[in-house]
C-alpha cells in the first residue's frame, strides 16, 4: 500500500508540475538511473557548467552525490525535489530510457546520449528479450527525445530502425570519449592514486558485461597466468583492476580473488578514467571495447561462453569482424597476449572504423551544447 501511494504521488506531481514555466538555463542530467557523475551526461554537464548553466544531477544516495564537481547540485532519485527540477528545467540529458510516467513540456530539450556502440541486439531488434513495460517506456522516451548522440554510421542506423526514433541525430562521437581523444596525464594519475596503485605497477582493466542470469561462472579468468603472460610480453609487474557491470557490481567481493593481484574497481564512478589509468584491457561482449579503441592500447577478448551468450540476444555482426583476438580458454588468452602485435591491432582497428563509420571527434560534448544553444536561440527568436 505504501508503494502504491508513493507511485500515485509521483504521477500526480509529474502531471501538475509539467505545466510550470521552464528555465532555459537549467539542466537536469542523469546517468544509469542515479549513478555518480560520469559517462556522456557528465561530459555534457561539465560543458554546460563551463557556459554558466545551472546543472542538477540525479543520484541514488550520498555516495553518488559525493562524485559531483563544484557547481553541480544533487537531486535524490524520484524525490519531489527531483521531479520539480525536471519539470522546470529547460534541458534534460540522460543515457538511459526515462519511464513512461515522465512528462515533458513545451520549452524543454531532451538529449539522449545512449550508452555505447552495440555488439548484441538491442531495443526493437531484441523485443523477445525485453519486458513489455520496458518497451512501452522506450517508445515513450523516443517520442520525448529531441536529439540522439551517435559515434558511428552504424549506431545512427540502429537508432533509425530499432529505437522508434525519427528525430535529429548528432554524429560527432560520444561525449564521454572526449577525454580519450585528449588524454591528460593528471587524470591517469588521479585514478591511480584513488586506486592505491604503486608507482611503476602496470594495470590491466578487466571489464566484462553481465550475463542474463547475473551469475559469476563466466568470469573464470586465470589471473596469475594472465599476469605472467602480460609481464613476459610487455615487461613490468602487472595488477588487474576488476570492474564488473553495475548490474552485478555488488557481487565482486564474493569472487574470492587474491587482493594482491586483483583489485576491485567496480565502484569507481568513471570507467573512462580507468581507460586512461590502465595499460591494457580485457573484456568480452561489452561495448567498452569500442570506447577503448580510441586509446590505441592493447585489448583482448575472453569469450568462454560465446554460443550461450549469442543465444540470449544474438549479435549484430559476426564476432570475427572485431579487431581484437577472441580467446575461448585461458590457454588461448595467454597465447593471444604473448603474440600481441601493435601494428596488427592498429590495422584491424582502422579497418573496423572504416566498415562501421566509427568516429570520435574529441569535441562531442561541445557540439551537443552548441546544438542546445542554437535551438534555444531559435526558440527565443520565434515570432
pLDDT for the residue numbered 253: 76
Give per-10-residue mean pLDDT for the chain (383 aa): 83 93 97 94 98 98 95 97 98 96 95 95 93 96 98 98 97 97 92 92 95 86 97 97 85 80 90 96 96 97 91 89 97 98 98 97 97 94 77
Q: Is the C-alpha dihedral spanning 153, 158, 161, 167 positive or negative?
A: negative
Contacts of 322 (CB under 8 A, 6+ apart): 119, 289, 301, 352
Answering whether pTM is above 0.85, one says yes
pLDDT for the residue numbered 13: 94
Q: Is the C-alpha dihedral spanning 360, 289, 267, 113 positive or negative?
A: positive
Contacts of 306 (CB under 8 A, 6+ apart): 319, 326, 328
Q: Considering the domain 185-356, what is its CATH architecture?
A: 3-Layer(aba) Sandwich (3.40)
Q: What is the DSSP letter of 163?
A: S
pLDDT for the residue numbered 117: 95
Neighbours of 127 (CB within 10 A): 12
| Phi, psi (degrees; rounded to nearest 5) at 27 | -125, 140
Read off the C-alpha cell for 167.
528525430
Report the C-alpha gap between 70 and 85 in whole angstroms: 19
Neighbours of 85 (CB within 10 A): 20
Q: How many CA atoms lie within 13 A of 209 on its CB side?
A: 19
Q: How far is CA 333 from CA 76, 272, 286, in A?
A: 43, 24, 17
Q: Do 2-178+362-380 and 185-356 fold alike per CATH?
A: yes
| Phi, psi (degrees; rounded to nearest 5) at 243 | -125, 100
For the chain, percent helix, then strand, then coil, each to nearest 5? 45, 15, 40
Grid coordinates 542530467 are at which residue? 29
Read off the C-alpha cell for 313.
540476444
Nearest to 371 by CA among 163, 113, 82: 113
Q: How far is CA 237 from the centre of its chain?
A: 29
Instruction: For the chain, give every domain's residue range.
Output: 2-178+362-380, 185-356
Q: How far is CA 48 from the centre of its chain?
A: 19
Contacts of 25 (CB under 8 A, 6+ apart): 52, 53, 54, 90
Query: Superfamily assignment of 2-178+362-380 in CATH?
Result: CDP-glycerol glycerophosphotransferase, N-terminal domain (3.40.50.11820)
Q: For residues 144 and 98, is the Cβ–Cβ distance under 8 A?
A: yes
Maximum C-alpha span of the chain: 69
pLDDT for the residue numbered 123: 96
Amino acid at each position: 500500500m505504501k508503494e502504491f501511494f508513493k507511485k500515485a504521488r509521483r504521477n500526480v506531481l509529474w502531471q501538475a508540475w509539467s505545466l510550470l514555466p521552464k528555465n532555459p538555463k537549467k539542466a537536469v542530467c542523469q546517468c544509469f538511473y542515479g549513478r555518480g557523475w560520469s559517462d556522456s551526461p557528465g561530459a555534457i554537464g561539465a560543458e554546460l557548467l563551463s557556459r554558466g548553466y545551472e546543472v542538477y544531477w540525479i543520484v541514488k544516495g550520498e555516495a553518488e552525490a559525493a562524485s559531483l564537481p563544484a557547481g553541480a547540485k544533487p537531486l535524490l532519485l524520484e524525490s519531489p525535489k527531483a521531479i520539480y527540477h525536471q519539470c522546470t528545467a529547460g534541458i534534460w540529458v540522460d543515457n538511459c530510457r526515462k519511464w513512461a510516467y515522465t512528462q515533458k513540456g513545451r520549452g524543454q530539450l531532451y538529449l539522449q546520449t545512449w550508452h555505447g556502440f552495440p555488439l548484441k541486439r538491442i531495443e526493437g531488434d531484441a523485443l523477445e528479450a525485453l519486458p513489455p513495460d520496458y518497451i512501452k517506456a522506450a517508445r515513450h522516451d523516443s517520442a520525448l527525445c529531441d536529439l540522439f548522440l551517435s559515434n558511428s554510421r552504424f549506431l545512427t542506423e540502429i537508432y533509425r530502425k530499432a529505437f522508434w526514433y525519427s528525430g535529429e541525430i548528432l554524429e560527432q562521437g560520444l561525449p564521454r570519449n572526449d577525454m580519450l581523444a585528449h588524454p591528460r596525464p593528471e587524470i591517469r594519475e588521479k585514478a591511480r592514486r584513488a586506486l592505491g596503485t604503486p608507482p611503476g605497477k602496470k594495470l590491466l582493466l578487466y571489464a566484462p558485461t553481465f550475463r542474463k542470469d547475473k551469475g559469476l561462472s563466466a568470469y573464470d579468468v586465470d589471473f596469475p597466468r594472465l599476469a605472467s603472460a602480460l609481464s613476459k610480453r610487455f615487461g613490468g609487474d602487472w595488477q588487474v583492476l576488476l570492474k564488473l557491470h553495475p548490474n552485478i557490481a555488488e557481487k565482486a567481493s564474493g569472487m574470492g580473488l587474491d587482493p594482491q593481484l586483483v583489485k576491485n574497481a567496480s565502484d569507481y564512478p568513471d570507467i573512462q578514467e580507468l581507460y586512461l589509468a590502465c595499460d591494457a584491457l580485457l573484456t568480452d561482449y561489452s561495448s567498452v571495447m569500442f570506447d577503448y579503441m580510441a586509446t590505441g592500447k592493447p585489448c583482448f577478448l575472453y569469450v568462454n561462453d560465446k554460443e550461450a551468450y549469442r543465444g540470449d540476444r544474438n549479435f549484430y555482426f559476426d564476432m570475427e569482424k572485431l579487431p581484437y583476438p577472441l580467446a575461448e580458454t585461458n590457454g588461448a588468452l595467454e597465447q593471444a597476449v604473448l603474440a600481441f602485435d601493435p601494428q596488427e591491432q592498429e590495422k584491424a582497428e582502422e579497418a573496423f572504423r572504416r566498415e562501421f563509420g566509427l568516429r570520435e571527434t574529441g569535441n562531442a560534448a561541445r557540439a551537443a551544447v552548441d546544438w542546445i544553444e542554437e535551438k534555444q536561440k531559435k526558440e527565443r527568436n520565434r515570432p
